[in-house]
Amino acid sequence: MKVKYSYLEEQFKDHKEIFNRLDKLIQSGDYTLGKPVQEFEQKFAGLIGTKYAIGVNSGTDALFLSLKAIGVGQGDEVITVPNTFIATVGAIMATGARPVFVDVTDEFTINPELIEHTITKNTKAIMPVHYAGHPADMSDIMDIAKRYELPVIEDSCQAISAAIDGQCVGTFGLTGGFSLHPLKNLNVWGDGGIIVTNSEEILDRLLLLRNHGLKNRDEVDTFGYNSRLDSLQAVVGNYLINDMHTITETRIKWANKLDSALAGLKNFVTIPKRRPNKRYVYHLYIIIVKKRDELLSYLIKNEIEAKIHYPMPLHLQPAAAHLGYKKGDFPVTESQCSSMLTLPVHQHLGEKQIDYMIEKITKFYR
């Protein structure tokens, strides 16, 4: 039996309806912004529960433009985590600001207790990451942010529809950035991203920033960027957003099944803490395991495409050398990097494949 990590071929095996919609778009000539983008923005804002959503070129740009919209630049500092996808830090670097790392908890999200002592007079924002689809502790983070009057930009790229007490992540801070990359829970046929906010002021700034800063056809107040959500991608997004409920619920179902089965292997497998008031959407189903590298090879040999997200933390990446961090600075992140494993839990897997993974993992430790 094969348990594949990627499901794009299956997901788009029947793409006739999307082609029909693209055909209409092509004949309309509405190639930049226009109706499909507006429709997607409205649907997305509805899904997450914000007043506004602004479609942009990628998840990375969703974060970068959010930082630009609040004026982050050279000499500023942005607090984030070292256990994220490179793009979180890339977006901060692209503004000219300096990323300041804070270690995470055993839930893989920023440890609120460690934030305060990293705040300096140069701190301009806090950027928690809802890593793997695990909601960060937003109420503690927002308390600190309010006390220091710091805006919060939520990296929600891996966490569409994740929630705390029924409130979606991305809506606690000033903005939330989401990715529509092919491997994210809500995907398009290339790159795409979207920002949510309830602030009209931020909305206005983002609308300018993503479209050259153009106030109207001929007038520019502030120079911006070309970072529009592609209209073709918005057509794909409008089609797929209707499946979000099924996609999310299936991932949760497989994750819950794995959680209960793997609980029986507690000498070897640690399941991250799950809190009853949080909705985890399992963009990545991550566990902490003994003999990780051996287990990984064993699973690959048995045609189970397990992975590691990610083996090297950001503070130890060659690109971050000038920041002056060293091994040992973030012990929780570093320990997780050497013992974490991601199992596939996507919506195109069936019960049999989940059972097969459980069987093989159990066999490995027996």
Ligand X SMILES: *Cc1c(COP(=O)(O)O)cnc(C)c1O
Q: Which stretch, 136-144, 155-163, 232-240, 262-270, contacts ligand X (CB under 6 A)?
A: 155-163
At closest approach, how far in Å is the CB of 215 from ligand X? Answer: 27
User: Does 65 interact with ligand X (rule: CB under 6 A)?
Assistant: no
Among 22, 36, 50, 58, binds ligand X (CB under 6 A): 58
Residue 85 contacts ligand X per CB under 6 A:
yes
**Residue 163 φ then ψ, to 5°:** -150, 160
Residue 173: partners with Cβ closer than 8 Å, 6 or more residues away: 126, 128, 138, 142, 145, 151, 152, 153, 154
Helices 34-48 and 16-28 pack at an angle, to 10 degrees, of 130
Sheet holding 163-164: strands in order across? 167-168, 163-164, 278-279
The residue (of 50 and 60) whose beta carbon lies closer to ligand X is 60
Minimal distance, residue 86 CB to ligand X, in Å: 8
How many residues touch ligand X under the rule CB under 6 A: the total is 15
Contact flag: residue 129 with ligand X (CB under 6 A): yes
> Which residues from 257-316 bind ligand X, rule CB under 6 A?
none
- The answer to whether 157 contacts ligand X (rule: CB under 6 A) is yes
| Minimum CB distance to ligand X smaller for 129 or for 337 | 129
Can residue 60 be called a binding residue for ligand X (CB under 6 A)? yes
DSSP state of 71: T
Among residues 186 and 255, whose Cβ is nearest to ligand X? Answer: 186
Backbone angles phi, psi at 294, to 5 degrees: -65, -45
Give min distance, CB of 222 to ligand X, in A: 23
| Shortest CB 98 distance to ligand X, Å | 18
Site of tokens 């070292």:
82
Measured from the CB of residue 352, what is the shortest distance to ligand X in angstroms?
29
Nearer to ligand X, 87 or 265 (CB): 87
Binding residue for ligand X (CB under 6 A) from 193, 224, 237, 344? 193
Least distance (Å) from ligand X to the CB of residue 326?
24
User: Does 154 sit near ligand X (CB under 6 A)?
Assistant: no
Task: Tally Cβ neighbours within 10 Å of residue 327.
Answer: 10
Give the residue nearest to ligand X (CB). 59
Q: Of 207, 172, 183, which is closest to residue 66 (Cα–Cα)?
A: 207
**Collapsed DSSP state (helix, strand, coil) of residue 118:** helix
Least Å distance between CB 157 and ligand X?
3
Q: What is the DSSP letter of 54?
A: E
Asked if residues 270 and 249 have their Cβ atoms less than 8 Å apart, the reply is no
Closest distance to ligand X from the beta carbon of 50 (Å): 19
Strand ranges in the chain using DSSP code E only, listed in sequence order: 52-56, 77-80, 98-101, 123-126, 153-155, 163-164, 167-168, 175-179, 193-197, 214-216, 219-220, 269-270, 278-279, 285-289, 340-343
Q: Report the residue number, 145 or 180, with the smaller CB distance to ligand X.
A: 180
Taking the C-alpha atoms of residue 261 and residue 238, their distance in angstroms, rounded to an integer, is: 36
Q: Is 66 in the site for ligand X (CB under 6 A)?
A: no
Q: Two tokens at 99?
A: 């990323």
Nearer to ligand X, 108 or 356 (CB): 108
Pairing of strands 98-101, 77-80: parallel
Residue 134 DSSP code = P
Among 50, 84, 250, 302, binds ligand X (CB under 6 A): 84
Indicate which single residue of 22, 47, 72, 87 sits in contact with ligand X (rule: CB under 6 A): 87
Beta carbon of residue 266, minimum distance to ligand X (angstroms, whole number):
29
Helix (H, G, I), strand (E, B) or coil at 100: strand
Residue 155 interacts with ligand X (CB under 6 A)?
A: yes
Q: Which residues bind ligand X (CB under 6 A)?
A: 58-60, 84-85, 87-88, 129, 155, 157-158, 179, 181, 191, 193
